[in-house]
Structure formats: C-alpha cells, structure tokens
Amino acid sequence: PHSFKKYFYTVNITAVDNNPMKGDLVFADQVISKSKAVEGKYSFKLFHLLGAHPPFCLNEKLEYEKLEYSRSSYKTQARATLEITKRFLTSLKSIGVYDNSMIFIVGDHGLGSFGVNVQASGYTEDNKVANITSSNTIATGIPLILVKPFASMADMKISDAPVSLSDIPKTIISELGLKDDLPGCSMFEVKESDFRERRFLAYKWEHEYWKKKYLPVMDEYIINGFSWLNQSWKPTYRRFTPSGVQDTRPQIYEYGSQIQFGEGGNAEQYQVQGWSYPEKGFTWTDGKSVSLVIPVNQPQSDLTLSASLFPFTAGGVVNQNVYIDVNGDRLGEWIITAAGEYKIKIPKEHITDSLLEINFELPNAVSPAELNIGNDPRSLGIAVKSIIISEKN
C-alpha cells in the first residue's frame, strides 16, 4: 500500500556527489561486510534498490558514470544491478541461509520508456488486432519476476507462466502452509499452459503525488494470454480517480470535426503509442513511431486527413520525414521542414471494423539530450496541433 512506502523507500537518501545510486552502492558494500545469520530466528526482509531505474549513472564496474537516457544506458545500469544482486546472493550463501530461504527479486514495474523490444519466439502476433494498448503501457506492466522456493537447489529455469506481482503474498502464505483468503495464486502452482486473466492499473507518476492523499488517476487493463503481445491486452476504459470510477471509452469520431491536441484538447482519448504530455496548443510525438486509434462510422466516400503541425528541427536536424500508415497499409509520406497543414488521402476501402488505426513513422526523431543541446530526453519528431478527417464532397 502507498501509505507504507515511506517507511522503506529510499527516496530521502542524500547522495554523495549528487549520485542517486548511492543507496544501491552502500547496499552492495554492506551486504558483504555486515550480513549475519541469527540462530533460531525467522525473519522477513525487504530491500528496495533503485536498480535499473533512471537516471542512468552506474556502469558494470559499479562506478559512477553519467550515462545518456537510452536503451543502451538502461542495459548498462541493469548489468550493474545484476552485479549487486550477485553479491547479495553470494552473501546469503556465505552465511548459510540461501538454501532455506524463499527469495523474490522483482521490479515494481517494467521499463515503459523503450517499449517491449523483445522477440516473442514461439508466439504469434495477430496483425489484424488493432494496437489499442501502447507498447509503453505493456512494457511498464511487465516487471522482472525471479523467485526461489524454500529448500530449492535446482538450476534456474525460465518460465512463461502467467503470474503477476499481486501473486507474491499468496505465494508466501501458501509456502508457509498458512490458511488464508488472499487473492491470486501461488506462483509455483501456475502452469505455462494456464489461461489466466490478470489486471493492470496504469498511471503516470509525478513528484507532487508524494504529498497527496491519492495516487494519480489509474486506467485499467485486462490481460489474457502471453503478456508480451499487444493482442493479450485490453483496456476496460475504466479510470479510477479520487472522485470515483469514470468511463473513458473514446467517442465515435464525427467526420469534419477537429481533434485538438495539447492542454484542454480531446486527442488523448485516441492516442495510443508514442505521445508525450500535452502542452499549450500542441503535443509532441515521443519516439520513432506514434499511433492513434479512432472509432469511426463506415464512410460513404474516401477520406482526407489534414494535420496542423510543426517539426523538431534543431542541432543539425533540418527536417522530419513522416511515413503514414492507416490500418496497416502505407499511404504516403510527408517531408516536414516548417509549420503548416499536411494532408493525405485515405481510400474508404482501408476503413475496416469501424476503426482508423493511424501510425506515423518518424525515423528522424531525436532527443535534445542526444544532440547535446538540452536535457530533454524525449525523442521529438513533430508537434501536432490538430487533426481533421473529412469525407470527400
């Protein structure tokens, strides 16, 4: 529960030389020098480390190094975290408590910033399913879960069993042989072949919420099937807020009306993947690929999409190439060098299942941080002000 987090979260540790990983390094040192076993006592321990969380500033040798905000830097700090984990497990073995301990090593969330980025070997993506859940949401909802049961000495195995963090309490209580009415399942009883419904609540954290009574608004998703695949994720369109549950189901778009981006606009209900936060009058794309899913009525004629936008051009970037796909088909390209209105024709035959899935590919998107012209880590491509989709007269 959120109210308990302040008692074990290390957010208030004062970092030496402004090193936010100081707490992890102290743990790495003390877990070797100060660990001890007390005869005849049972104990429950929880250690919360920054791990592979940004900012990225720790290399594989556990040396402080300022790293750029990128997937490569994330992997570098993840290797550092593996080294710290290795020291922890080695320490448990050296004091003789590893074999008879149950151990969980988990992330509190996955890394949403870089999408899923894994090869789901043996699993088939259904390309006919509209991507109504962003890859960042999916990646955030897939944390690392490692678990070792009591008295286990077997080699490590990789499992695709459909478990979740919410199963941890049930797993512990079940292994201790205690009676309970906790929700969830013991992770050791879930088979890879089990078809199991899971629940994920997505929210965007801001520092202001440390002092607030409630968490940010949370959007609910139900997962059935292999969690790495988009087709396994379905939004319920239920949004949990301090004032109650809201229905966020997107409205059917009325041809000729304006989809307004930015603060106070109505675009967020259609935004799926790759969009930054709304700003005054526009919303930046954030990444090499962004998408919209818009419910529509079947048109009687071809459509024209008109977008008012401007490109990110700085630090040597002179234009943004934008490739436009609609319902999986490449329909055209914009070469954007200045603010303006850009159009593309959408043949009515491309509208299926009363949905418009619009994807913008942005190969030139780049962050100011990568260009060394600022600290903004967002991979900026175009800033969209509005979109209008019209039927041909």
Q: Look up the CATH number of the domain holding residue 333.
A: 2.60.120.260
Closest CA to 168 of 201, 143, 192, 193: 143
Residues 139 and 43 in one domain: yes
- The mean pLDDT of the chain is 87
Distance from CA of residue 357 to its chain's centroid? Answer: 21
Residues 73 and 180 in one domain: yes
Q: State the residue range of the domain holding 264.
A: 258-391
Bridge partners (DSSP) of residue 352 are 355
How many percent of the chain have pLDDT more than 90?
A: 56
| Amino acid at the residue 44 | F
* Number of folded domains that form the chain: 2
- Answer yes or no: is 96 within a domain: yes
Asked if 351 contacts 306 with a C-beta cutoff of 8 angstroms, the reply is no
Residue 350 exposure: Cα atoms within 13 Å on the Cβ side: 17
Q: Is the pLDDT of residue 371 over 60?
A: yes
- Answer yes or no: is 150 within a domain: yes
- Residue 57 CB contacts under 8 Å (≥ 6 apart), including other chains: 19, 20, 21, 64, 65, 66, 67, 77
Q: Is the pLDDT of residue 337 over 80?
A: yes
Residues 52 and 180 in one domain: yes
Residues 58 and 160 in one domain: yes
**305 C-beta neighbours (distance < 10 Å), count:** 20
- Cα(first)–Cα(last) distance of the chain, in Å? 56
**188 C-beta neighbours (distance < 10 Å), count:** 14
Burial label for 323, CB within 10 Å (0-12, 13-18, 19+), is middle
- The mean-pLDDT minimum among 128-142, 166-180, 221-235, 269-283 falls in 128-142
- Answer yes or no: is 233 within a domain: no
DSSP 211-265: GSSSPPPEEEEEEES-TTSGGGEEEEEEEEETTEEEE-PPPPPPTT-EEE-STT-
Q: Is the pLDDT of residue 130 over 90?
A: no
pLDDT at residue 254, as a whole number: 95
pLDDT at residue 61, as a whole number: 93
Residues 41 and 173 in one domain: yes
Residues 133 and 58 in one domain: yes
pLDDT at residue 13, as a whole number: 46
Task: Please compute the mean of the pLDDT values over residues 82-87 and round it to a whole number.
Answer: 94
Residues 266 and 181 in one domain: no
- Answer yes or no: is 228 within a domain: no
> 145: pLDDT confidence band, cut at 50, 70 and 90?
very high
Residues 175 and 277 in one domain: no
Residues 67 and 168 in one domain: yes
Asked if 285 contacts 367 with a C-beta cutoff of 8 angstroms, the reply is no
- Answer yes or no: is 247 within a domain: no
Q: What angle do CA 10, 53, 1 make, to 5 degrees?
A: 50
Domain end residue (candidates: 138, 164, 191): 191
- Residue 89 CB contacts under 8 Å (≥ 6 apart), including other chains: 98, 103
- Answer yes or no: is 58 within a domain: yes
Asked if 307 contacts 387 with a C-beta cutoff of 8 angstroms, the reply is yes
- Answer yes or no: is 183 within a domain: yes
Beta strands in 103-191 (DSSP E): 103-106, 145-148
- The mean-pLDDT minimum among 20-24, 86-90, 113-117, 155-159 falls in 113-117
Q: What angle do CA 339, 345, 349 make, to 5 degrees?
A: 150
pLDDT at residue 15, as a whole number: 46
Q: Is the pLDDT of residue 83 over 90?
A: yes
Distance in angstroms (rounded) separating the CA atoms of residues 36 and 14: 26
Residues 136 and 283 in one domain: no
pLDDT at residue 204, as a whole number: 82
The more confidently predicted of residues 335 and 134 is: 335
pLDDT at residue 207, as a whole number: 78
Asked if 229 contacts 236 with a C-beta cutoff of 8 angstroms, the reply is no
- Answer yes or no: is 278 within a domain: yes
pLDDT at residue 198, as a whole number: 95
Residues 159 and 18 in one domain: yes
Q: Is the pLDDT of residue 257 over 50?
A: yes
Domain end residue (candidates: 191, 222, 237): 191
pLDDT at residue 250, as a whole number: 86
Residues 165 and 273 in one domain: no
Phi, psi values for residue 82, rounded to 5°:
-65, -40
